[in-house]
Chains A and B, each alone.
Chain A
Amino acid sequence: MKNKNIFDILENAEYDSMERLIDKCPLISDEQLDKIYVMSEKKFKKEKKKLERTKKDNIIKMSENEVVYGVECSIRPVWLTTLSTAASIVLIAGIAIGSSLMIRRNNHYNIPDTPLPPAITASTIKSTETTNISTDRNGSSILTTFTTASGIKSSTDISVTETVKEIVTTDTPDSEFIKPFVGKWTYQISDTNDLNNEKTIVNIGIVDIRGDATYTYTDRSGNVSTGTIQKASEEIGGAELFKLVFSGDSFVSSESYVFHSAYYTDIKPDELHFGNGYAARIVRGELNIYYQNNIADWKTSYKNYLKAIRESSDYTSQLMWDLCDLDNDGTPELLISNGEYHAARVNYYHYYEPDGTIMFGCDSDGMIVDFGDYGEIMSCKEEGLIGWSNTHMGYNYTIMYKFTDRGLVKLQSTINNLGNVSYEEAEYKVNDESVSKDEYDKFFELFNSKNWIYTGRRYSFDDLSALN
């Protein structure tokens, strides 16, 4: 007999059966009753509160034609009218005065500090002689004519019209156009594309423009390159812009772009802007002197540069910085790490003592390069080495660079694919060439024998205390 099964039919009992079952119900302990009481009381209070709130929300019930009694009379103070009238008058007067001041201030037409170089550069380029047509802020064309026979800008005829299509051409010798630009210029770049912010400007080299339309460019590392300059104009949106075209690949930006064309505007005769924005330019005269006279020590220079990046739109919370004397010259280099992911690199910057500016770390070819992975590099400053090593997707690699008089030179790189294939099938490479295992081990052990320290991500951009 399944005792429990037959007793299950007592469930869902009718009233009579229920009475019998209630009689035989075991006693409920005081603790259990207390527990039930507390739970019930809690639920009751909650329900009561809910009910009272509902009643309160529906407390005003009126139908049409019902009369409301006992409404409190409100007397508006007399002084309140006078006060609000006075306040209104003050407010209106304030708006009127403020508006007139703003209108008066805006009536002074300000010539823009630096007209924007053209946004579109892929247009037809044709060689012309001496005429420059630029576009002002209002979209009107400004026609400028140079009488280059005298070598200076002797007359300037500015006519503002809706559209100017006529280009005045004067017959002059080929090299005459260069005379206004002859002299020494300084090549400057801004890593944050903000040449208006002096803190971000880095002097990269000196440009000497000669009267025969040739130039010599000397970078900070002492590398010298020469080339020729041609005059060109560029038609953009119906207007024509005057520019100098430099041959060769002398002018490299922080992004490793090579610039060739420098645009000229009348408003800033001592500046020639490369590219489309405020990334690179050459300057002369007072501007150059200004930067030369504002020499800061390396800590101030690094700090200003870090602050400029922190305030720029290029800043992300992943960026971190560090100081490390990579080349063992007594002045630490500034390292800026892009992040902690595999492809995150480290840029390093030198302090250039003669003018207190900082310059990008370059390789022996003068190209700005970045190093490391996962946002760090390995440094062995006793020997002036930097390198990095990792295993990624089955490949184990090491790379080692050395600081020399010519800049940073790659010493060696090793790679193997042991993580992808069996030991017998593994391929070993040194400096991108397949070698035997023994040969590979020799280079690999050389890399490992160095006294490496990891560097690149010691400080956040909110903590510049190390530069105090």
Chain B
Amino acid sequence: MTSIELTAMMKKSPSTCHKALVTEYGRYVYAIVYNKLRGCGTIEDIEECVSDVFADIFMKCEFDLSYDNDIKYLIATIAKRKAIDSFRILMAKANYIIDTDDDDMRELVSDFNVDERVDRSELRRVLLEKIDELGEPDSTILIQKFYYNRNSMEIAQSVSMTSVAVRQRCARAIEKLRTKLMKIGMTA
């Protein structure tokens, strides 16, 4: 969807436009937010953040839509920034106060490690490649099972299979993935 299409929709009916945006980009925004908050937030936190993203997008549409290209990238940027904000808020909530004389103080160093970042980025790329090599629907089943934490029933609806078949394919696919990763010396 482009900004021109969006502007036209806004003129016609703002609420219809908002609804269309949520329907069109809901899954997209959800995936981005989920990627950031998966480790620290609940499903409710993620939904809250997604609604924050769309509220921001609606504000942009109402007052500041000077963006000419596909709004997908604008939405991705807003979603990512909002998700990082939420991540910080959630981490701050879970944080605790440490005395400067405390032994734990030495652990309060910056968590940004360049080497580790590069390593993780490379690992991520390799893992996704190996998952893709498994082909469909195995790759989707593995990602939805182990990354999105969906159960076999939900995955079965997504890939149009029975839940029993999903479980069998998942077991086989994970074995295949393990073999592939071992071949390249990747173990976990």
Report A's interface with B, CB cutoff 8 A: 1-14, 16-18, 20-22, 24-28, 32-33, 35-37, 39-41, 43-44, 47-48, 51
User: Which residues of the other chain, B, contact A36 by a CB distance below 8 angstroms?
Assistant: 22, 26, 47, 50-51, 54
Say yes or no: is B69 at the interface (Cβ < 8 Å to chain A).
Answer: no
With beta carbons under 8 angstroms apart, the residue of B53, B158, B178 that contacts A27 is B158
Known: A10-B35, A12-B35, A35-B47. 7 other contacts (CB 8 A): A16-B125, A20-B128, A24-B147, A25-B148, A26-B154, A27-B157, A39-B48
Let me know if A10 and B127 touch, CB within 8 A. Answer: yes
Q: A10-B35, A47-B59 are in contact. Are A40 and B18 (CB under 8 A)?
A: yes
Known contacts A25-B34, A35-B47, A48-B59; A17/B125 CB under 8 A = yes
Interchain CB contact under 8 A, B139 and A24: yes
Inter-chain contact A40/B55, CB cutoff 8 Å: yes
Q: Does B52 contact A (CB under 8 A)?
A: yes
Contact A33 B188 (CB under 8 A): no
Q: Is chain B's interface secondary structure helix, strand, loop, or mixed overall? A: helix
| Residue from the list B22, B47, B188 in contact with A5, Cβ < 8 A | B188
| With A12-B36, A37-B19, A48-B59: A20-B132 Cβ-Cβ less than 8 Å | yes
8 cross-chain CB contacts under 8 A: A13-B35, A21-B147, A33-B23, A36-B54, A39-B48, A39-B51, A39-B55, A40-B18
Pairwise interchain contact B188-A21, C-beta atoms closer than 8 A: no
Contact of B31 among A9, A12, A14, A18 (CB under 8 A): A18
Contact of B147 among A1, A2, A10, A43 (CB under 8 A): A10
Main secondary structure of the interface of A (DSSP, over half): helix
Stretch at the interface among B91-99, B102-110, B116-124: B116-124
Which of A10, A39, A40 is close to B124, meaning CB atoms less than 8 Å apart? A10
Bound form: Cα–Cα A32–B30 in Å: 11
How many residues on B have C-beta within 8 angstroms of the other chain's C-beta atoms? Answer: 53
User: Is B143 on the interface with A (CB-CB < 8 A)?
Assistant: yes
- Please, which residue of chain A has its CB at the minimum distance from the CB of B50? A36
Residues on the A chain within 8 Å of B36, using CB: 11-12
Cα separation A33 to B51 with both chains bound (whole Å): 10
Decide if B62 is an interface residue (CB 8 Å cutoff): yes
Task: Decide if A40 touches B123 in the complex (CB within 8 Å).
Answer: no
Contact with A along B30-61 (1 / 0, CB 8 A): 11101110110000000110111111001100
A2 — which chain B residues lie within 8 A by C-beta?
Answer: 188
Pick the most buried of B38, B128, B174: most chain A CB atoms within 10 A of its CB.
B128
Q: Lowest 6 A-B CB distances belong to which pairs?
A: A39-B51, A40-B54, A43-B55, A6-B188, A25-B31, A44-B58
Most buried by B among A2, A4, A24, A28: A24
Is residue B88 within 8 Å, beta carbon to beta carbon, of the partner chain?
Answer: no
A1-B188, A27-B27 given; A37·B22 CB < 8 A: yes
| Nearest-CB residue, chain A, relative to B63 | A51
Complex Cα spacing A319 to B19, Å? 67
B121 cross-chain contacts in A, Cβ below 8 A: 14
Q: What residues of chain A lie closer than 8 Å to B140, measured between beta carbons?
A: 24
Contacts of B148 in A (CB 8 A): 24-26
Q: How far is the CB of B150 from chain A (nearest CB, A)?
A: 5
* A21-B51 CB under 8 A given contacts A3-B174, A33-B26, A41-B18: no
Nearest residue, chain A, Cβ from B141: A24
**A7 vs B34: C-alpha distance when bound (angstroms):** 13
Q: Which residues of B contact A6 (CB under 8 A)?
A: 127, 181, 188
For B30, list chain A residues within 8 Å (CB).
Answer: 25, 28
Give CA–CA (A48, B50) in the complex, Å: 18
- How distant is B175 from chain A, measured CB to nearest CB, in Å? 9
Closest Cβ neighbor of B175 among chain A residues: A1
Q: Across the interface, do B47 and A44 meet the contact criterion of CB distance under 8 Å? A: no
Q: How far is the CA of A3 from the CA of B187 in the complex (A)?
A: 10
Chain B residues contacting A10 (CB-CB under 8 Å) are 35, 124, 127-128, 147
Contacts of B62 in A (CB 8 A): 44, 48
Residue B163 interfacial (CB < 8 Å):
no
Nearest Cβ distance between residue B129 and chain A, in whole angstroms?
A: 9
**Known interface pairs A21-B143, A21-B147, A24-B140; A9-B51 also in contact (CB < 8 Å):** no
In the complex formed, the residue of A with least CB distance to B182 is A1
In the complex with contacts A6-B127, A12-B36, A36-B50, A44-B55 CB distance below 8 A? yes
* Minimal Cβ-Cβ distance residue in A for B32: A18
Contact B35 A43 (CB under 8 A): no
Distance in Å: Cβ of B31 to nearest Cβ of chain A: 4
B-chain residues with CB within 8 Å of residue A35 when the two chains form the complex: 47
C-alpha gap A13/B36 in the complex (Å): 8
Q: Does B144 contact A (CB under 8 A)?
A: yes
Is A9 in contact with B127, judged by CB distance below 8 angstroms?
yes
For the complex formed, measure the closest distance between the CB of A5 and the CB atoms of chain B, giving whole angstroms: 5
Residue of B nearest to A33 (CB): B26
Q: Are A24 and B144 in contact (CB under 8 A)?
A: yes
Q: Which residues of A contact B139 (CB under 8 A)?
A: 24
Interface centre among B32, B47, B124, B174 (most CB of A within 10 A): B124
- Min Cβ gap B168→A in Å is 16
Query: How far apart are B149's CB and chain A's nearest CB, in angstroms?
Result: 8
Tell me, yes or no, whether B162 is within 8 Å of chain A by CB.
Answer: no
CB distance from B138 to the nearest CB of A (A): 11
Q: Which residues of chain B are within 8 angstroms of A3 by Cβ–Cβ distance?
A: 146, 174
Residues of A within 8 A of B120 (CB): 9, 12
Residue pair A11, B38 in contact (C-beta under 8 Å): yes
Distance in angstroms from B10 CB to nearest chain A CB is: 12
**Complexed CA–CA distance, A26 and B155 (Å):** 7
Residue of A nearest to B149 (CB): A4
| Residues of A contacting B52 in the complex (Cβ-Cβ under 8 angstroms) | 40, 43
B144 contact set on A, CB distance < 8 A: 24, 26
What's the least CB distance linking B26 to chain A, in Å? Answer: 5
B132 contact set on A, CB distance < 8 A: 20
CB of B15 within 8 Å of the partner chain: yes
A7 touching B146 in the complex, CB below 8 Å, given contacts A21-B35, A44-B55? yes
User: Using Cβ atoms and an 8 Å threshold, which residues of chain A touch B35?
Assistant: 10-13, 18, 21
